[in-house]
Structure 1
Amino acid sequence: MSPGQVNLSSTPAQAAQTSAAAGAAPANPGHVPAAAPATDAPSTFISGSTETSGSGGGRNAAKITIAAVLIVAIVFAGIFVLGKSMTNKRTKTLNSLLAQVADKGATQLPTTQDEVEILLGEAKSLKNRGDREAIYQRLLVAEGNNLDEIIAQFAANEENKMTPDIRVKFFQVVQGRNSPEALPALIDHARNASKPETAGAALKAARKLATEKDLTNLLGIIQFNENSQIQQDAKRVIMSLAERSTNRSEIATAIQSAYESATNDKSTVVFLELLGSTGGDTAAGIVETALGSEDKKIRIAALAALGSWADDTQFDTLLDYMASEEDDTLRRQAYAQAFQFLQKDRDRDDLALEDMWKALAQEASTESEKIQIVNGLAKIVEDWAFAVVEFFLEDENDKVSFRAEKALDFMETKRNRLKPDPGDDEEE
C-alpha cells in the first residue's frame, strides 16, 4: 500500500491477526507483562506510511480504523440533523405562506424568491391535490421581484420533472398573473415541449401577452409542429395579437409570407384562415383567389378567413359565394361562417346590422339555418328584429314557426323590461 493511503479493505486481516495473537498461550504462564509505555494520542491528520509491525502496530491500526469509522458516523449524524433541521424550517415556511391565503380575498402578498422556490418545489411533488391547489393560489397572489419570470421558467423547464397536469396548472398560474416577463419562457416551451397538452397551456397563457416580436416564433410553431391542436392554439394567439395590434398590415405581410412558403397542407390551411384576423387588401386578394381553388380544403379555409374578418368589408363576399355555390357542403359552410360573423361583439351601425341580418335571413334554407336566425335575433329588441322573426311565423316547418313564436314572446318581455312604455306610467 502506498504511503499516505488508508485501505479500509485490509481491516479484517489486521483484526484476524490481533485475534490470533490474543488467543495464543503466554510463553511464561506466571509472568504478567509490563504495561506499555504511554504514548501521545494519535493525530487526526495521518501522513507517511501506515504500515505497522508487531502487536503494537496492530493495535495502532485498529485505533486508526475505529477513529475513522467514528468520524464517518459523526459526519453522517451531522448531515441527518442538519437535513432534518432544514426540512423542518422549509415546512414551517410553507405552512406560514399557505396560512396567508386562508383569507380568500388576499392579494399581492409580499414573497421572496426563496419562498417562491419552496412553493414551486412542493407543488410539483405533493400527492394531495388540495394541498397543491393551495400552493397554486399562493403563487397567484405572490408579489415580489422577478417572480413572474421565475414561475414561468420553472413551469417551462422540462428538467423539472412533474406530471403534465401539474405543469398545466403552473401555466394557468402564469396565465392568471398575466405578466409580459413570463412570455419568453412560454414561447420557448410551446416550441420545444414534448407534451402537446403542456405546449397548449403555455400558448393559452401567452394569448394576451404576445407581441409582434413573437410573430416569427408563433408562425414557426404552425409551420413545423405536426400536432393539429398546437397549430390551432398558436393560431389563436396570433388572432388575439392581430385584434390588439395597431399594425395589422405588418402581421398580414408576415402571414402572407408564411402562407406562400408553407411546406405542408395543414400549415397552409391554418395560415389562410389566419389572414381573416388581419383583414386588408393583401389578405382579401389571397382569400379571393383561394375561393376559386379546386381543392375543397382550401376553399373551406378561405371561408373560415371570411368568417373571422377584421372588419365588415367582406360580409357581402360571403353572401355572394353562398348564393352561387352549388356544392351543398361548401354552401352550408359559408352560411355557418356568415352566422358566426354576425355573432361577433362589434360596434356596428344599427342600419348596417339590420341589413346584414336581413340579407342572411333570406339565404336561410334549412330548418337548422332558420332556427339559427330566429335564435340570433331573439337577443335583439329593435323593431326590425321583430319584423324578421315574424316572417318565420308563417314558415311551413312547424318547428321553425313554433320557435319564432316563442322567440317573439321572449323578445317582447325583454323589451318591456329594458324599454318600458311611458304610457304605462300615465295610465297608473
Structure 2
Amino acid sequence: MSDERYEIRGKIGQGGVGAVYRAYDTQLRREVAIKRVLAVEGDDSHNADLATKNLLKEATALSSVQHPHICTVYDAGIDKDGPFVVMELINGKTLDEMVERGTLTYDDFREVAIQSQEAMIAAQDLDLVHRDLKPSNVMVCWLPSGRFQVKIVDFGLAKFSAKPSLQTIDHGDAVFGSIFFMAPEQFERVPLDRRTDMYALGCMYYYSLAGTYPFNGDSAPQVMAGHLQNSVQPLQELRPDLPSWVCAWVMWHIARNMDDRPESARVALEKFINDETTAAQHGGVMPHRSGPQLVIPTTSPQLITPTVTSTKVNTQTAPQAIIPPGGHTAFTSSQAIRPATVVTGGTAIQPARPAVTVSPTITPAATITPAATTPPAAVNPATNVVAAQPTVTPPVFPGLTPAKKGLSSTHKILIYSGLGVAIVILCWILLSRNSSNSETDRFNALMIQVEDLRARDLPTTKDDLTLLLDSLADDTISNRNAIFQRIVISKPEGSYSIDKLVLDYATSAGMAEEDCKNLSIVIGKRGDQGAVKGLLKWAIKNPDHPATQIAIDGANKTIEEDNFLSFISILGATETPGVKSSAEKALKNVISNSRNKKNLANQLVGAFDGSIDDNYKLAMIRLLGNTGSEAAKKTISESLSSDNTNERIAAATAFGAWPNDEPFDTLLDAFESEDTIVVKTGVFKSAISLLSSERKHDNDELGNRWLTLSAYATTNSQKSKIISEAVKANADWSSPVLKFFTGKDHDDRIQTHAAKGLDKIKD
C-alpha cells in the first residue's frame, strides 16, 4: 500500500485476526477504511497465510458485488506490511445499536427487511454466501435526503460457491460468526448454501422486532441446543401488535430444516410483497411507499467491525422508530401524520400523506325527566356532598301511649339473609367434611393396593392420580415411598396420560426438591420416552437441581441419539460435579452405541468451538476420542500440542479411547516432546490402551508397536505395565516383549518380573 496515497488517521477496531483503520485517500480526497491482517507472533506461517487468504477473499467478494446496500471495496493489495483492503467508511450505526433503544416499528422493519433482502439477492446472483449475517454486520446510515439506508458489511467469511460448502474454521478451529445467529448446519459441519444466510436473516429480524434472541441461553451449549432443537417462542406472542403474516414470514426463515426455509432472498422478498398486498386488500396494514424520512446525522463517520453480540438485550422497551445519531427529531412513516412541509437546518422533508377522515358519531340528547315532588337534597358545590335533610318528629299528645312498632321490612330482610348465609356455610362445612372423608377413604384404598407386591398395571383414574400427587404437598404424609410406588404400577383409566401428569407435577415450581427427585425416578421407571424427554428439557433450565442427575440416568437407559444434544446442554450449564459426570457418561454411552459417530463428532466439535468454559471444552475433547472421526482427530491433535497442560492431558485421554490404534505414532511423538511429567504419564498410559486387546489392530504391526513402546518406557512402572499386558494377552508378540525386558539394561526387579512372565505363558 502506498504510504503517499493513504494517510492512516487512527484505529477503528480490531478483531481476531485483523484490524481496521480510518484513513484518508489523498488522490481521491475522501475518507476510507483500511483493513489489515494482524501480525502473527512466532513462526505460525500457516495462520498468517490463512488470514491473508480470507482477507483477500473478502476483497474479491465485495468488489464483485456492486450494490447500494453492500459495503463497497475501493482497492486491495499486498505491501511490505502484508495484505490490505480499502473500503468505504460508513457513516452510521449498527442495527444492534438501534435495537438497544427499542425494538423496530413496523414501517422501519419493512425498510430493513426489503433493503437487506435486496442486498442478498445481488450476492446470491453471484453464488455468494455471507455466512456471518448478524445485527453488528448490518449498518444503518443516513443519506443526504434524510432517508436511512441499510448496508451489509464484513464479507470476510463469504465464499463464492455455486455448490454447498463447509463452514470456515480459523486457526483455533473455532467456528466464525456469532452463535446467536448461526444456522444449525453450521454447528453440524454440513455443507452450507444460501439458505444458511436466510436463517441468519430470520434470526436478525426476530431480534430487531422482539428485542431478544430467538435462541438464547446462559451458555454457548444451551444456545447451540436451541438452534439444533428449534426451541423458539413464536414471534407473534412477543409482538401481538404486528400483522400475523409478518411474524409468520420471519419464522419461515428460521425453520430447523433447510428445505423448509426460503430458497433464496428473491423468493423471500416476493412473498413479503405478495403477503403485504394481500393483507392490504383485506383491510390489513399497508405501509407507505415513501419509506422512512430521517434527519441528516451530524456525527463523524465510523466503520463498525464484526463483534460478538451482547447477550443482554432490552426486551421491555416498546417499538421505537429509527433515529439517527445526535438526538434530532426524525420523521418516519410510522409517526404522526403531518402535511407536507419544506424545512431547513438539516431536517428531512416529510412527505404528504393522506389524512384519515373520521366520521363524527351523533349521540341523541338525553331524555329530560320531570322533577319529583320530593325536594332534592342540597348539594354542596364545594365538596359535591349531599347535605342531610332535617328529621321530622311526629307530635306526642298527652295521655296517649305510643303503639309498639313491629320489625321493619329492612330488618326482616337482614335477618333472613343472615340465616341464609349461615345455612349455606353450615352446608359447605358438612359437604367439605364428607368430601374430606371420602378422599381419605379413597387415598387409603389406593395405598392398600401397594401392599400386594405382585400388583401391576393398576387402573387409575385421573382424579385418583391427582389425589396421590396432591398428597405430596402434605408434610404430615409419612408413607411417601408407597405413593411413588403406587404411581409406578398405575395404568390410565380413561383418556389421559399418567406420565404427562406426573411430569407436570415434577417440574412445577412449588414441588419440593426431594419429591421432584422421586417423581423423576418414577418417570424413569415407567420408561415413557416423551416424559423422559420433557424431563430432560426441564433439566436443561435447572442443571443443578437434584432431579437433573436422575433425569440423565433415566434417559441414559434408552441410549437414544435424540437425547445427545440435551446431555451436551446440561453438561455445559451445570456446576454440580455429579451431574457433569452423569452427563459425560451418558454422552459416551450414546457415542459407543451409535451408527453415526461422524455426525455426533461434528456436534461435539461445534460445542467445543462455541464454548469459552475450559472444563466444558476438556469434556468435549475426552468425548471426541470415542468417535474415531477425522474431525475429532484434528481437534484432539491440536489440543495435544496446546500450551494448556489440562488440555494436553484431556487429548491424551481422548486418544486412549480411540476405537483403533491409528493415533499410536501421534502419541509417541507427543511422549517424546513432552516435558511435563503428569502429561507424559498420561500419554504413555493412552498408548498402552491403544495397543490393548480391546482395540482393532493391524496384527502384522501390533508386535512391532509393542516393542517400540517398550523401548520408550523409562520408569519401572511403565515397564511393569507392559509386562503385565504381555502376560495377559499371551499373544504372538508377548514372548519378544518379555525377552526384551530380561536384558541387562533393566534393573533386577524388571528382569525377574519379565522372566516370571515368560514362564507363565510357556505353562
Alignment TM-score > 0.5, same fold:
yes
d(CA) in 1 for partners of 2:629 and 2:657?
Answer: 13
Q: Which residue of 2 aligns with 1:88?
A: 437
Contact 1:183–1:210 (Cα < 8 Å) also in 2: no
Superposition deviation, residue 293 in structure 1: 0.9
Q: TM-score, normalised by structure 2?
A: 0.39
Q: Give the residue type in structure 1 aligned to 2:484.
A: Y
Question: Are residues 1:73 and 2:432 paired?
Answer: no
Aligned to 1:255, which of 578, 601, 604? 604
More helix per residue: 1
Q: Which residue of 1 aligns with 2:646?
A: 297
Contact 1:300–1:330 (Cα < 8 Å) also in 2: yes
CA shift in 2, pair 1:245/1:94, >3 Å: farther
Where in structure 1 are there 5+ consecutive unaligned residues? 1-26, 35-53, 416-428
Q: Which residue of 1 aligns with 2:545?
A: 196
Q: Which residue of 1 aligns with 2:533?
A: 184
Q: Which residue of 2 aligns with 1:165?
A: 514
Q: TM-score, normalised by structure 1?
A: 0.65
CA shift in 2, pair 1:260/1:91, >3 Å: same
Q: Give the residue type in structure 1 aligned to 2:435.
A: M
Q: Provide, for residues 365-424 of structure 1, a one-character-per-residue CA deviation record: whole Å limited to 9, x for no partner.
A: 76777887899899x6968999899999998669x97xx99xx9xx9xxx9xxxxxxxxx
d(CA) in 2 for partners of 1:322 and 1:173?
Answer: 49
Q: Give the residue type in structure 2 aligned to 1:154.
A: Y
CA shift in 2, pair 1:295/1:146, >3 Å: same
CA shift in 2, pair 1:233/1:56, >3 Å: same
CA shift in 2, pair 1:169/1:395, >3 Å: farther
Q: Which residue of 2 aligns with 1:174?
A: 523
d(CA) in 2 for partners of 1:297 and 1:395?
Answer: 33
Aligned to 1:307, which of 656, 659, 662? 656
Total equivalences in the alignment: 353
Superposition deviation, residue 223 in structure 1: 4.0
Superposition deviation, residue 186 in structure 1: 1.4
Question: Are residues 1:152 and 2:503 paired?
Answer: yes
Question: Are residues 1:139 and 2:484 paired?
Answer: no
Q: Give the residue type in structure 2 aligned to 1:137.
A: Q
Q: Which residue of 1 aligns with 2:458?
A: 109
Give secondary structure in 1 for the equivalent of 2:407.
helix
CA shift in 2, pair 1:383/1:246, >3 Å: closer
Q: Give the residue type in structure 2 aligned to 1:294.
A: D
Where in structure 2 are there 5+ consecutive unaligned residues? 1-397
Superposition deviation, residue 292 in structure 1: 0.9
Contact 2:543–2:574 (Cα < 8 Å) also in 1: no
Contact 2:601–2:627 (Cα < 8 Å) also in 1: yes
Question: Are residues 1:332 and 2:685 paired?
Answer: no
Superposition deviation, residue 136 in structure 1: 1.8
Aligned to 2:554, which of 185, 205, 214? 205
Q: Give the residue type in structure 1 aligned to 2:586.
A: V
CA shift in 2, pair 1:115/1:64, >3 Å: same
d(CA) in 1 for partners of 2:691 and 2:482?
Answer: 42
Q: Provide, for residues 250-305 of structure 1, a one-character-per-residue CA deviation record: whole Å limited to 9, x for no partner.
A: 11111112212223323322222221232222211211111111111211221232
Q: Which residue of 1 aligns with 2:234?
A: none
The structure showing larger relative contact order (alpha-carbon pairs under 8 Å, at least 6 residues apart) is 2
The two structures, once aligned, show a CA RMSD in angstroms of: 4.6
Give secondary structure in 1 for the equivalent of 2:499.
helix
CA shift in 2, pair 1:336/1:97, >3 Å: farther
Superposition deviation, residue 33 in structure 1: 5.4
d(CA) in 2 for partners of 1:200 and 1:377?
Answer: 40
Q: Provide, for residues 107-144 of structure 1, a one-character-per-residue CA deviation record: whole Å limited to 9, x for no partner.
A: 33333333322222224544555x11112222222233
d(CA) in 2 for partners of 1:214 and 1:160?
Answer: 27
d(CA) in 2 for partners of 1:364 and 1:166?
Answer: 54
Superposition deviation, residue 182 in structure 1: 1.2
d(CA) in 2 for partners of 1:120 and 1:237?
Answer: 30
- Spell out the pairing of 1:256-295 with structure 2 (5 A cutoff): 256-295=605-644
Superposition deviation, residue 339 in structure 1: 6.9
Contact 2:544–2:575 (Cα < 8 Å) also in 1: no
Q: Give the residue type in structure 2 aligned to 1:160.
A: G
